[in-house]
C-alpha cells in the first residue's frame, strides 16, 4: 500500500519557502538575513557587534549615552501613556539606557521589543525582568512588517 503524506504549513513556512526559492533562483544567490537569527545566529551576531571593526554599536552607544536625557525629555513632552516600539533590540544593550531614564522619570509606557530572533528576545525579556522589574514589556517575535500590521 502506498503511503501518502500530508503537511500543514504555517504562513511563516510558506513565506520562508517563497523567499528561499526567490533567493536561490536569482542570478546572484542569496538568503534573507532574517533567517539567520536562530539561537546560534543570534550568538554569532552578538559577537560581531562587539568587534572593534563593527562600528555601528559604538556610534549608537555614544548617541544613547550622550543624548538619552534629551530623548527622554522629548518623549515625555507628549501626553500620557505611550508604547515604545523597538525593531531588532537584540540584547537591548543600547535601549536599556533609555529605558532606565524613562523609568527614572516615572514615564507611563509599555516597551514593545520586536525581534526576528525569539532566542534573543527571550534573553532580553529575562534580563529586563531582573534589571527593571517595574517595566511593562510586551515582547513580540517574528517578522517586523507582519507584527506591525497586527
Mean pLDDT of the chain: 87
Helices H, strands E: what count in the chain?
6, 4
User: How is the chain split into domains, by residue range?
Assistant: 39-149
How does pLDDT run across 90-133, given as a tens digit for each residue? Answer: 889 999 999 999 999 999 999 999 998 888 899 999 999 999 99
- Tell me the whole-structure pTM to 2 decimals: 0.77
Place of cell 539567520: 36
46: closest CA among 129, 105, 124, 138?
Answer: 124
C-alpha cell at 78: 507628549
The count of residues in the chain is 150
- DSSP helix/strand/coil, 32: coil
CATH of 39-149, one of 3.40.50.150, 3.40.190.10, 3.40.50.300, 3.20.20.140: 3.40.50.150
Amino acid at each position: 500500500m502506498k503511503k501518502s503524506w500530508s503537511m500543514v504549513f504555517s504562513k511563516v513556512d510558506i513565506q520562508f519557502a517563497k523567499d528561499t526559492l526567490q533567493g536561490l533562483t536569482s542570478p546572484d544567490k542569496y538568503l534573507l538575513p532574517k533567517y539567520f537569527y536562530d539561537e546560534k545566529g543570534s550568538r554569532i551576531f552578538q559577537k560581531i557587534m562587539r568587534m572593534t571593526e563593527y562600528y555601528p554599536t559604538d556610534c549608537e552607544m555614544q548617541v544613547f549615552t550622550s543624548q538619552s536625557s534629551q530623548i527622554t525629555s522629548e518623549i515625555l513632552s507628549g501626553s500620557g501613556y505611550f508604547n515604545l516600539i523597538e525593531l531588532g533590540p537584540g540584547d537591548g544593550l543600547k535601549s536599556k539606557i533609555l529605558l532606565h531614564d524613562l523609568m527614572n522619570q516615572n514615564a507611563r509606557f509599555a516597551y514593545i521589543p520586536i525581534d526576528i530572533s525569539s532566542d534573543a528576545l527571550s534573553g532580553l525579556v529575562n534580563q529586563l525582568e531582573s534589571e527593571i522589574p517595574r517595566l511593562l514589556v510586551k515582547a513580540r517575535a517574528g517578522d517586523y512588517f507582519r507584527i506591525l500590521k497586527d
